[in-house]
Structure 1
Amino acid sequence: MKYQKSAIAIVDDVFEAINEAWQEDPGLIVRETGRVLSVGEGIARVDGLPNVLTDELVRFSSGSLGLTYNLDPKEIGVILLDDEHTIEAGEEVFRTERVLEVPVGDSLLGRVVDSLGRASDGKGNIRHFDYYPVERPAPTIMSRISVDTPLQTGIVTIDALLPIGRGQRELILGDRQTGKTAIALDSIINQKDSGVICIYCAIGKQRAEVNRVIADLQKYGSMEHSIVMSASSSVPVGLQYIAPYAATSMGEYFMEKGRDVLIVYDDLTWHARAYRELALLLRRPPGREAYPGDIFHIHARLLERSTHLKKELGGGSLTALPIIETQAQDISAFIPTNLISITDGQIYLSPSLFRKDVLPAIDVGKSVSRVGGAAQLPAYRMVTGELRLAYSQFEELEAFSRFSSRLDEDTREQIQRGRRIREVLKQDQFNTLEVFEQIGLLVAVTEGLFDRLELQQVSSACEVIREYMSQEMEPIRIKISEGKQLSEDEQRELTESLKNVLQQNFPIEKSEEVTEDADR
């Protein structure tokens, strides 16, 4: 494969060739230059460069790089991509006549890189064979097809009630420390044997947090199929701004090769703040909450690049899981509202559920998946409709029961069933479930097989069913994994088998049977 140089490497070669030519023949060399007027806080103001273009890569005489952004009549606003302390006022600036590019390819898998694609994991340089521009147009409508393949996260609540399809954009939002990153990590770890390429883009996070994510991916064997892009809070704000676009370009390379990609933006709250900081420093007119007027556009043009391509273009997909942080559960705030309107659904994490130790703390009532249902495996459809209805009714009745001590028998049964559904949907982090394990649990809870068990026995019963589904029922297990619909006879067989297993492991004591007969 032919090795291709990046825009940065080409710029280095050009300047080296100019210097060598000048030393051999110190004649006249025509070169468009500018001069730094001021520098600070991640931006530089430059005079000169009359023909420079917007989003063009420029180089300072000290070797640092910048991205032109404001083209005012008297000066140019440049976003710095390197440490500002290496740049001084009066320094020369040169055009490169190139746009910013990042490396792409299989050599990035298993590596940690910065926003420019440079290795930052101490494992040496990465040899690249292709480069993509950071800013690329989104695929056209005629290049896309509908979402028809599920992206299994291994989380029962999401796969059953809020399914995500390959090519979908599903927003994860919630207050600070409610488990947003945990859901994204579980989704990446569950793709270990699915062939899905995963990209984790950390924006504005502390280095310790990013290191923990990398350690978890390595621990569970998911780093081999993943790329981690780190634009932590300690790097220049310009690198934080371009990070999600650079990560998307890396994902688009695989998508255009016909592969499926999952990309996590953690999180776009810090991306919006980074852009607001740059815009205010560049003296762009502020709007609501001091954000510039095009704050919606910067996220729309990013997320519109996620799609499912038609087969003639490779049939690959790019699934986006953007993360956003809310304040005091306010999902109607400016940035969350923007992202909700752009994406194809949202997963809302409730602080109150988190405090009750209901993990993952997904509020099913405020969460929705607008296109994932069309891509859900058929085996889920036989249980999820009844499950969602029963769980929604339970949440309403549970709130109502706090104000009333007199409840009829049907209401008490619905509340008891709902509490068992909630226990089944509880799931520890890094404990992802296979599809057939999820189906076994969902069939058991919807058929009322847990109703006779004590609430504290439900978690043990779930482990029994998971083990049984992994070791027995091979024909049904294979059919579920292949995405085929179970017949009515197979559904009855599965229900009876699970009922017998629970009776064997959790027999009813005779004293309880006598008490029940006496009550009758």
Structure 2
Amino acid sequence: MITKTGEQGLQMAELTINADDVRNALNEFAASYEPGNAERVEVGRVTAASDGIARVEGLPSVMANELLRFEDGTLGLAQNLDVREIGVIILGDFTGIEEGQEVHRTGEILSVPVGDAFLGRVVDPLGQPIDDLGEIKAETTRALELQAPGVTQRKSVHEPMQTGLKAIDAMIPIGRGQRQLIIGDRQTGKTAIAVDTIINQKANWASGDVSKQVRCVYVGVGQKASTIAAVRQTLEDHGALEYTTIVASPASDPAGFKYLAPYAGSAIGQHWMYGGKHVLVIFDDLSKQAEAYRAVSLLLRRPPGREAYPGDVFYLHSRLLERCAKLSDELGAGSMTGLPIVETKANDVSAYIPTNVISITDGQIFLQSDLFNANQRPAVDVGVSVSRVGGAAQVKSMKKVSGTLKLDLAQYRDMQAFAMFASDLDAASRQQLTRGARLMELLKQASTRRSRSRTRLSPSGPVRRATWTTFRLRMSAVSSPSSWSTSSTSPPS
């Protein structure tokens, strides 16, 4: 009850509390309470945000790699789970995120949409289209951090993955499910080999045979946007875009996107692999992903190691490349072949990232800048390049024809270096140099100029015979491998 009294022009209210009224109100509230409608919500707050990284307090139950949603709708990825704070990679524009803003959990682990609708499209590391061709209807989603196939789930590599390049298919064969590194200095043709390999799958795709068709994923990390656009245009011009998905994270993207892009491409490929199909994934290139991961780790205040890389940089690439495999028959016999690309500086393969990736992969194709400058395309250094498991998948006829070709070229390179300082050479050495020069001319091949196994077999056959030393090379014949007949028993003349 409220009463009012007047004294010297002032009014004063007196409040009288009735215990029965309070009791009735509490009973009414208790009767209306329904436990099933109660919801527990964790809300965090931004304590700092800069350079694509945010620090958040107040989310004690957050999971590793869980998606978080900031107040302006931007997504973030939970990384560092400290006692009081969470280190978050901001997946988007971080300019609108300020200290004190609320952060909410989504309860979802970072995943990417997958499906056949992604063929012929260009997407970002989150699976969103960036080619202005409309939305993509995904079949399902797949987590980016997914366990690689186990030992019992795998099968040995035994099926060939033809690249269309004579130098590689003859001396450094690649099999389906293999991880073959392409390594070399900048501007030595690394991307060209990868793109040629994608284009060479066109005939298999046109056959309509699922056992022959190869779906391709090109992951461009840290490349110029114009370079990625040029790759897309090349694939489209040669009719290869219809079976290819491009995951693009250009140099202008935040470091977090460049770190996640290879995992997104791998997840898209794994969807097809576990569906019993064959996949080829190009990672162009992993050295830029490692640099992006180094930047993210330093911003998250993780302790640096050699060359300022974090201690788990080896695991960064091993858990990615181990997903490439040839699955057992029980799992559908699908495969995912990985062609990671790593850039070296001054042909130094003993640097930190190159040695890491070399130890993870099943072989490497080393591109020499000296060969590239000498107009040898592809500039493959056969003395350093090796394929550890591809020999079991090489076409038998190609294996028989190529024979000692790799050894002969390695000896030629050694003899060539020796001949630079020798004033006089014996007849056998001069013969070996002449023969090696002709072999090098035979292996020259212009970019996007594919050569099928059928046309590659005949020129290598005579190479092993003594008559090859008396053959006068004609450049017109060398530049047109499709004109060589597989039934001929003598070199082209």
TM-score, shorter chain, exceeding 0.5: yes
Letter in 2 for 1:48: G
Cα shift at 1:450:
4.8
Cα shift at 1:30:
3.4
Q: Does 1:254 align with 2:264?
A: no
Letter in 2 for 1:104: V
Show the counterpart of 1:404: 422
Residue from 377, 390, 404 that aligns with 1:372 = 390
Q: Does 1:340 align with 2:365?
A: no
Residue from 199, 207, 223 that aligns with 1:205 = 223
Q: Does 1:299 align with 2:354?
A: no
**C-alpha separation in 2, matches of 1:329 and 1:463:** 29
Cα shift at 1:87:
1.6
Show the counterpart of 1:175: 185
Letter in 2 for 1:174: G
Residue 429 of structure 2 aligns to a residue in which SS?
helix
Compute the TM-score of the two structures, normalised by the length of structure 1: 0.84
Contact 1:189 1:217 (C-alpha < 8 Å) held by counterparts = yes
**C-alpha separation in 2, matches of 1:204 and 1:118:** 18
Residue from 60, 73, 85 that aligns with 1:75 = 85
Q: Output one character per residue of 1:208-258: Cα deviation in whole Å (capped at 9) or x when no partner.
A: 111011111111110000000001111221111111111101000110111
Q: Does 1:278 align with 2:288?
A: no
Cα shift at 1:28:
7.7
Question: Alpha carbons of 1:307 and 1:114: their partners in 2 closer, same or farther (altered >3 Å)?
Answer: same
Letter in 2 for 1:433: S
Residue from 224, 228, 243 that aligns with 2:246 = 228
Residue 392 of structure 1 aligns to a residue in which SS?
helix
Q: Does 1:97 align with 2:107?
A: yes
- Which 4+ runs in 1 deviate beyond 6 A? none
Contact 2:456 2:481 (C-alpha < 8 Å) held by counterparts = no
Q: Output one character per residue of 1:304-355: Cα deviation in whole Å (capped at 9) or x when no partner.
A: 0000001110000000000001111110000000000000001111111111
Show the counterpart of 2:153: 143
**C-alpha separation in 1, matches of 2:275 and 2:354:** 33
Q: How does 1:232-247 map to 2 (within 5 A)?
A: 232-247=250-265
**C-alpha separation in 1, matches of 2:159 and 2:89:** 40
**C-alpha separation in 1, matches of 2:240 and 2:466:** 37
Show the counterpart of 2:14: none
Letter in 1 for 2:477: A
Contact 1:417 1:448 (C-alpha < 8 Å) held by counterparts = no
**C-alpha separation in 2, matches of 1:324 and 1:439:** 31
Q: Does 1:388 align with 2:399?
A: no
Structure 1 window deviating more from structure 2 (85-94 vs 312-321): it is 85-94
Show the counterpart of 1:460: 476
Cα shift at 1:449:
5.2
Letter in 1 for 2:156: S
Structure 1 window deviating more from structure 2 (443-452 vs 351-360): it is 443-452
Question: Alpha carbons of 1:353 and 1:468: their partners in 2 closer, same or farther (altered >3 Å)?
Answer: closer
Contact 2:415 2:429 (C-alpha < 8 Å) held by counterparts = yes
Cα shift at 1:38:
1.1
Letter in 1 for 2:134: G
Cα shift at 1:37:
0.9
Cα shift at 1:29:
5.4
**C-alpha separation in 1, matches of 2:60 and 2:328:** 43
Q: Which runs of 5+ in 2 are unaligned?
A: 1-36, 205-212
Q: Output one character per residue of 1:277-314: Cα deviation in whole Å (capped at 9) or x when no partner.
A: 01000000110011000000110000000000011100
Q: Output one character per residue of 1:69-114: Cα deviation in whole Å (capped at 9) or x when no partner.
A: 0011121100111111132221110011110110111000000000
Contact 1:440 1:465 (C-alpha < 8 Å) held by counterparts = no
Show the counterpart of 2:441: 423
Letter in 1 for 2:200: N
Show the counterpart of 1:65: 75
Cα shift at 1:386:
2.0
Cα shift at 1:464:
5.7
Q: Does 1:188 align with 2:176?
A: no
Higher helix share: 1
Residue 319 of structure 1 aligns to a residue in which SS?
strand
Residue from 49, 55, 61 that aligns with 1:39 = 49
Percent identity between the two aligned chains: 48
Show the counterpart of 1:311: 329
Contact 2:441 2:478 (C-alpha < 8 Å) held by counterparts = no
Contact 1:441 1:466 (C-alpha < 8 Å) held by counterparts = no
Question: Alpha carbons of 1:281 and 1:399: their partners in 2 closer, same or farther (altered >3 Å)?
Answer: same
Alignment RMSD, CA only? 1.4
**C-alpha separation in 1, matches of 2:295 and 2:157:** 36
Alignment size in residue pairs: 449
Letter in 1 for 2:173: P
Contact 1:199 1:228 (C-alpha < 8 Å) held by counterparts = yes
Letter in 2 for 1:461: A
Contact 2:192 2:447 (C-alpha < 8 Å) held by counterparts = yes
Contact 2:445 2:479 (C-alpha < 8 Å) held by counterparts = no
Residue from 463, 474, 481 that aligns with 1:445 = 463
Cα shift at 1:465:
5.3
Contact 2:402 2:461 (C-alpha < 8 Å) held by counterparts = no
